[in-house]
Structure 1
Amino acid sequence: MLSCRALFRIDRVLWFTSRCVKSKLEFFSILRFKGNATMDGFKKQKMVNLVWRPISTQSSSIIAEAGHEVQEVAQCSKSSNVTEGGVNETASVFSAEKHSVSLEVGASLIKFIRGKEGTTQMKIEEEMGVKIILPSSRNDDHIIIEGGSVDCVTKASERITTIIEEVVRSPCLDYSHFVSLPLAIHPELVGKLVNFQNSILGNHSIAGDEQDDQPVDKTTSVTVDLKANSETNQVNVDMKSIPIVSYQPKAKGTNTSTLLDLEIEKSIFIKPHTFHLTVLMLKLWNKDRVNAARDVLKSISPSVMDALDNKPLFIRLKGLDCMRGSLAKARVLYVPVEEIGDEGRLLHACQVITDAFVKAGLVLEKDAKQSLKLHATVMNARHRKRKDKRKKMETFDAREIYKQFGNEDWGEYLIREAHLSQRFVFDQNGYYHCCASIPFPEEHRA
């Protein structure tokens, strides 16, 4: 009986021991599997808690010119898990790949990528399965496109490229820069322009600044015979006793009414300190294009000097003329330009400048095909500032102005330099901001 019990206890001990050994083996097997998750025959485990970190993308591309550089970013992070027994286990957690591209599109184009109330951006994100990160600063030209694959990021960038190309060719995107020949550097010419504006506008206020009614003399009194009826408590007015009051009619042909009728106001006059000749209009929608235009202008300085035969260039400004249409419905009124000596050096120099910018791919196709007509604008209806934007007043009557200044001799002036000018931005002297400039010959005539 005792021997049987002893044998039973030995069996229990052996059974317990085998169970412990088996459990340990299984435990170590699990640990070994966790420590070698990339061993043959096993795939990467999907992470349970994705840990995304900011992506630094240094790649950039110029839309429609240099293509897109897509940077793939694979991230791996480690997370520490604490077991119930207090043992810290470090397990590798692998994240899915994330792809991004940084595009320099230009601050002026961001609104077209966003769309009205963000509709364009949301549509691209939904259709392409990407996230478009727009810059928070107006001075930042870059956007970032993030997606789960190279294919979706590439397709989204191509869609944005198409949008930009369409916008650039359309009137929706205004010209940002132009090549100019400054004339406002001559103080006597600026003074003549100021006198020109003042003589037309006069000393009267423009378009509704004056009261239409004549001033009322508050000291004038009118005597009316009032008779009270004590019985009815009514007041009887003797109509015959009320004098007839007459107002002097408003003088016809006053300066204010004439300006209103002619649709002339101060805003359509060119600011005298910005007076210039325009050689070429440009749409430079990002910093790379501005830098390229600056380099082009500086590089052709010797060629421009050769086109001018290294001799100073003088022009004569005389008269007035209308750009398309009639004087009765004028859009642009300008001063014609004549090269003194009539050697064609001015047009030759301007053609050298234009050809260089066209060759660099900085000129729109429709602008490259236009022939150059040098003119000095003095009035432009497009500059009109109107309170009611629904009312279009794109013309003005210039017939009276032409009668007075049609043969005006504005004088002879030296062209000293050519500028790459930025529109809507002005330097301290009042002229357009100069991004780059090249000199013209300045030797005095004999």
Structure 2
Amino acid sequence: MIACSSRSLFFGVDCALKYANPYLKSNPLTYFERISGVGKDSARMDRNKKLKSAVGIRQCQWRPVSVSASNTQGSANELDGDKIKVAQVVTDNCDSTISAGVLDDTVKPMLSSEKHSLSLEVGASLFRFIKGKEGSTQKKIEEEMGVKIVFPSSKKEESIVIEGISTDCVTRASEKIQAVMDEAIESSLDYSHFVSLPLAIHPELIDKLVNFQNSILGNNDVSADENLESDSIEDTSDIENKGQELIKGRDVAVELKVEDEKHVKVGLTSIPLVSYPLKPPRLPNASDFGIDKSIFIKPTTFHLTVLMLKLWNKERVNAASGVLKSISSKVIDALDNQPIFIKLKGLDTMRGSLSRARVLYAPVEEIGSEGRLLRACQVIINAFVEAGLVLEKDAKQKLKLHATVMNARHRKGKRRRKNDSFDARGIFKQFGSEDWGEYLICEAHLSQRFVYDENGFYHCCASIPFPGKEERKQTD
């Protein structure tokens, strides 16, 4: 073989073979689940150790090589003309030697006897975190662990495959990916599902919400009251007084008379001028107070929220659906097997003052004040926590049933600020004591965010009935 320097011949060729080379001829695939049998074959382990010693953990690739005959000690092997040319190369990054070659579609050299792989159920919503910005996270894991991460080509598939030359590197890569997922789930991943008590099934309530929105978005006088003291309202009294003074002053005119070429006589005379009324000041509208249609809750999705969930793959969604269905009888027992009614009365804010409101909601009052609805909701929460489907921080949250009518977080059409808000003082003055009515809670849903059924409500993954639902159907 011909010995040469990698710097002069290969311009920095990496010192190891590609860990998942498509030209590998291998024995039947050795899966992660069968690693316990690897240790029984001492010859195979020795071969893997030697390969790991020569290759290391670095990512390496094939590069084309052209070798000509030489008097130097060694020889070049040629198969069928130029189909494959192999040269022995000594690199400055490795103590061992490796073979580099030019391959075609018909000749595939035997480089390793095994390839190890592991399939992970991840979920499509987490792919972007594993890839990272411009693939940076994926590349880092592949280079450090000596593996290849393969993402599915179909959007319906939710698993990734980790391929490597040993079970050790595949295992360590899977642990690294799990750490990336855990961090994303805790901080960056948005909630995908929630347990809801639908209220949009009541047409009369939807009508009230529509009228509420139209009244605010179409009423220019909503914030014209002097008690609001809004920062965006200007005091127009001074402007009107100044306008009157200017109109009076415009009755004075200048008359010029030329007596000769060097003298001009200037005289003042009173010439009546036409006076135009001032343009009335623009009355404020909803947008002046940070209010637009996008921050209103869609009436067809009106509900009470029991629990927020992050279900990032089909396995967790199916598990959550099963949990909800399994506790149907317990929920009915908590309700004493009696229908439950609520009353929506007034408005209140969450996260902010009236002048800088972020969430505006209608408080919920259980009719009868027996606490049955809260008991039933707690049964649901406990079941999901025990199933490991609730984040720790959400499990510690105290339940506060409320019906959200406006949320600045939903704003569209402009770049939303971190602490986006709106001025709700005019709304509160007009609707602060609004009686929204009394309504029957008919069922609990496992709802999927951002996906809607034909009725306009969130997609229902699973549901359980509450007492009184059948009677209401018969009445309708």
TM-score by length of 2: 0.65
Work out the CA distance in 2 between the residues paired with 1:69 and 1:440.
45
2:281 to 246, 251, 270: 251
- Name the counterpart of 1:217: none
Aligned to 2:154, the other structure's residue is in SS state coil
**C-alpha displacement of 1:140:** 1.6
Cα 1:57/1:401, change in 2 over 3 Å: farther
- Name the counterpart of 1:394: 420
Summarize deviations over 1:413-432 as a string: whole Å, max 9, x none. Answer: 00000000000000011000
**C-alpha displacement of 1:249:** 2.1
Output the amino acid matched with 2:370: E
- Name the counterpart of 1:439: 465
Query: Which is further off, 373-382 or 134-143?
Result: 134-143
Output the amino acid matched with 1:180: S
**C-alpha displacement of 1:246:** 5.9
Output the amino acid matched with 1:291: N
- Name the counterpart of 2:159: 142
Matched, 1:129 2:159: no
Output the amino acid matched with 1:128: M
CA contact (8 A) 2:219 2:285 kept: no
Aligned to 1:131, the other structure's residue is in SS state strand
Matched, 1:287 2:314: yes
Question: What does residue range 12-411 of structure 1 map to in structure 2 within 5 Å?
Answer: 51-52=23-24, 69=33, 95-170=112-187, 172-202=188-218, 249-253=279-283, 257-389=284-416, 394-411=420-437
Cα 1:311/1:388, change in 2 over 3 Å: closer
**C-alpha displacement of 1:259:** 1.6
- RMSD of equivalent CA atoms: 3.2
- Name the counterpart of 1:7: none
CA contact (8 A) 2:30 2:117 kept: no
Work out the CA distance in 1 between the residues paired with 2:26 and 2:156.
22
Output the amino acid matched with 1:132: I
Summarize deviations over 1:365-392 as a string: whole Å, max 9, x none. Answer: 0000010000000000000113345x56
Cα 1:176/1:245, change in 2 over 3 Å: farther
Aligned to 2:460, the other structure's residue is in SS state strand
Work out the CA distance in 2 between the residues paired with 1:295 and 1:399.
44
Work out the CA distance in 1 between the residues paired with 2:128 and 2:303.
31
Aligned to 1:327, the other structure's residue is in SS state coil
Cα 1:54/1:186, change in 2 over 3 Å: farther
Highest CA radius of gyration, 1 or 2? 1
Work out the CA distance in 2 between the residues paired with 1:245 and 1:259.
34
Cα 1:299/1:56, change in 2 over 3 Å: farther
Aligned to 2:156, the other structure's residue is in SS state coil
1:425 to 430, 451, 459: 451
Query: Which is further off, 94-103 or 422-431?
Result: 94-103
Output the amino acid matched with 2:164: G
CA contact (8 A) 1:130 1:148 kept: yes
Work out the CA distance in 2 between the residues paired with 1:366 and 1:54.
48
Cα 1:185/1:165, change in 2 over 3 Å: same
Output the amino acid matched with 2:298: K
Aligned to 1:430, the other structure's residue is in SS state coil
Work out the CA distance in 1 between the residues paired with 2:412 and 2:111.
60
Aligned to 2:285, the other structure's residue is in SS state helix
Work out the CA distance in 2 between the residues paired with 1:57 and 1:196.
64
- Name the counterpart of 2:7: none
Cα 1:392/1:299, change in 2 over 3 Å: closer
Work out the CA distance in 2 between the residues paired with 1:293 and 1:119.
33
Cα 1:424/1:298, change in 2 over 3 Å: same
Work out the CA distance in 1 between the residues paired with 2:275 and 2:28.
83
**C-alpha displacement of 1:137:** 2.5
Work out the CA distance in 1 between the residues paired with 2:30 and 2:444.
36
- Name the counterpart of 2:106: none
**C-alpha displacement of 1:134:** 1.1
Work out the CA distance in 1 between the residues paired with 2:276 and 2:28.
81
TM-score by length of 1: 0.69
**C-alpha displacement of 1:244:** 8.4
- Name the counterpart of 2:441: 415
Output the amino acid matched with 1:270: I
Work out the CA distance in 2 between the residues paired with 1:323 and 1:263.
16
Output the amino acid matched with 1:163: V
Work out the CA distance in 1 between the residues paired with 2:357 and 2:27.
56
**Percent identity over paired residues:** 68
Summarize deviations over 1:20-63 as a string: whole Å, max 9, x none. Answer: xxxxxxxxxxxxxxxxxxxxxxxxxxxxx98447999898xxxx
Summarize deviations over 1:286-314 as a string: whole Å, max 9, x none. Answer: 11100000000000000001000110011
Aligned to 1:178, the other structure's residue is in SS state strand
Output the amino acid matched with 2:198: P
Work out the CA distance in 1 between the residues paired with 2:131 and 2:353.
41
Cα 1:137/1:93, change in 2 over 3 Å: closer
CA contact (8 A) 1:312 1:444 kept: no
